[in-house]
Structure 1
Amino acid sequence: MINYYYDNTDDLKPYTHQLEANDDTMPPDNALRIAPEFKDGFCPCEQDGKWVLVEDNREKTAFNIETKDAVKIDYLGELKAGFTLFEPFEFCKWNGKKWVKDKVAENNATIEQNQIMKNSLINQANEKIAVLQDIIDLDMQESNEEEQLKQWKKYRILLTRIDVSDTNISFPTKPE
């Protein structure tokens, strides 16, 4: 005969271990003489003198459906409300059943990247124009630096006219 023990300090009373039992004794308060069923993804737990299978996701990673934060599961039972085992991906949102592409978030990120790129290119143009303007103002130009200045100013104007909310921007080519 075998005693099948469960953790009676846990609300779900999960199976813990088994030991040989004496035939002429009763099982302890935290043991049953009925062998538990084992099934992948579940843990046998005692309930009203019987073994029941309870969902077991311990050591898996769950994701918060609002924040997308990952947490290690350390409890028995169904996932807590607001969590899923499905891993989120970039620019997604939870639709109640699964992660779906969030076009608004993707477009906002693209617009933000476009603005960063536009600002960076304008700053580069401003630096180049400032140096070329100094060269010309001090009458220190060589070969085609006046033409270069004109090309860089045109380039800067083209940059300032770019609409960053257009997700298919084509930035102008830098002058040489």
Structure 2
Amino acid sequence: MKNKAPKIYNYHGVTLEYLGESVADADPLDVGAWLIPGNACLDAPPASKQGHVVRRSDSGWEIVEDNRGVMYSTENGSASVLSELGPIPDGYTSKQPPSPIHTWSGNTWRLSKELENAALTQEANATRSKLLADASVRMGPLQDAADIGDASDAEKDMLMAWKRYRVYLNRIELQEGFPKTIVWPQSPDEEI
């Protein structure tokens, strides 16, 4: 009766992760002997557990953490890819920040009031800049007519309304609740 081919346990050539089992090939030069290819061994690996993988080491099989994938810097929330086995490096987490205005605090992301206010202020300033640019476009012809002494009373009134509107736009920071709550002034076009 022929010897039954032994099971062999294969592992990856670079990461040394367990890949699966197969059977050894017969040695054509030595009857009854078996060929054990590179990246394979005869001893069975232990069972793995959730979030871990089994890999080969110099001393046999070992179970290691598998955190490969996208990681987030706890300093600034930027994403990077962890490609090696092992624990999550210090200064990183697998938890994605909910938004750019969250900061890492111990073991979770927390909303930063300072960053939130800065983002809201930046958004308000961008909106105001657009509204001021629109107002300047509307005021230009009215101001030209006034400068050459050819403005009608209606044009003078409209120019004054646009000037008042720009003054109110430039005072939004003075409102109580800014930048979370802003009551935008009504443009003269909206009043018509």
Q: Same fold (TM over 0.5)?
A: yes
Alignment correspondent of 2:29: none
What is the identity percentage for the equivalent residue pairs of Structure 1 and Structure 2?
A: 28
Alignment correspondent of 1:79: 88
Instruction: Please report how far the alpha carbon of residue 61 of structure 1 lies from its aligned counterpart in structure 2 after TM superposition.
Output: 1.4
Native 8 Å contact 1:114 1:164 kept in 2: no
Alignment correspondent of 1:138: 148
Other structure's SS at 2:85 match: coil
Alignment correspondent of 2:188: 175
Matched, 1:162 2:172: yes
Give the TM-score taking structure 2 as reference length. Answer: 0.73
Matched, 1:4 2:9: yes
Deviates more, 1:141-150 or 1:154-163: 141-150
Q: Unaligned 5+ residue runs, structure 1?
A: none
Give the TM-score taking structure 1 as reference length. Answer: 0.79
Other structure's SS at 2:130 match: helix
The aligned runs of 1:19-98 (5 Å cut-off) are: 19-21=22-24, 31-47=41-57, 49-58=59-68, 60-90=69-99, 91-98=101-108
Amino acid aligned to 1:14: E
Higher relative contact order (CA 8 A, sep 6+): 1
Native 8 Å contact 1:37 1:51 kept in 2: no
Alignment correspondent of 1:127: 137
Q: Unaligned 5+ residue runs, structure 2?
A: 1-5, 27-31
Say how many residue pairs are matched: 173
Instruction: Please report how far the alpha carbon of residue 86 of structure 1 lies from its aligned counterpart in structure 2 after TM superposition.
Output: 0.6
Shift in alpha-carbon separation, 1:172–1:8, aligned structure 2, 3 A: closer
Per-residue CA distance 1:91-148 (angstroms, 9 max, x = gap): 1011120111111101011112222222332333233233212123334445721211
Native 8 Å contact 2:76 2:103 kept in 1: no
Structure 1's consecutive aligned runs of 4 or more residues displaced over 6 angstroms after TM superposition are: 22-29
Shift in alpha-carbon separation, 1:114–1:164, aligned structure 2, 3 A: farther
Question: Which of the numbers 107, 117, 124 marks the counterpart of 1:107?
Answer: 117
Amino acid aligned to 1:162: I
CA distance in 1: counterparts of 2:73 and 2:107, whole angstroms: 13
Matched, 1:15 2:11: no
Native 8 Å contact 2:52 2:66 kept in 1: yes
